Amino acid sequence: EPEVTQTPSHQVTQMGQEVILRCVPISNHLYFYWYRQILGQKVEFLVSFYNNEISEKSEIFDDQFSVERPDGSNFTLKIRSTKLEDSAMYFCASSVKGETQYFGPGTRLLVL
């Protein structure tokens, strides 16, 4: 069964550094999403992406964040200058046409 994959599974970085989290959505899906889950808290929507542009974004998704689909398979989330409060699990998800979202296993980001 096709799955969303994410790399790396864990990343440790220093405050102020840039990080890029990578996702490979399910191949025939058209909508892509990023969510985050701060430890012990609920899953929060960050951004959705369709037709090579951002469709929706939350207030969390500020200028420090960007998303890109650099090729036909990868979908990336870049955090330009990480802060301590960016430490979280980041989930990528994809859907065929914006209804059922399938999630990847997540990348745990730790900012020191």
Partner 1 sequence: AQSVTQPDIHITVSEGASLELRCNYSYGATPYLFWYVQSPGQGLQLLLKYFSGDTLVQGIKGFEAEFKRSQSSFNLRKPSVHWSDAAEYFCAVGARGGADGLTFGKGTHLIIQP
Site string for partner 1, 4-23 (x = CB under 8 A): x-------------------
On whether the CB atoms of residues 44 and 37 are closer than 8 A, the answer is yes
Q: Across-strand partners of 78?
A: 20, 66
Q: Which of 42, 52, 71, 72 binds partner 1 (CB under 8 A)?
A: 42
The size of the interface with partner 1 (CB under 8 A), counted in residues, is: 29
Report how far apart, in Å, the C-alpha atoms of 89 and of each of 1, 30, 101, 111 are: 24, 23, 17, 11
Q: Site residues (CB under 8 A) for partner 1?
A: 4, 31, 33, 35, 41-50, 55-56, 58, 91, 93, 97-106
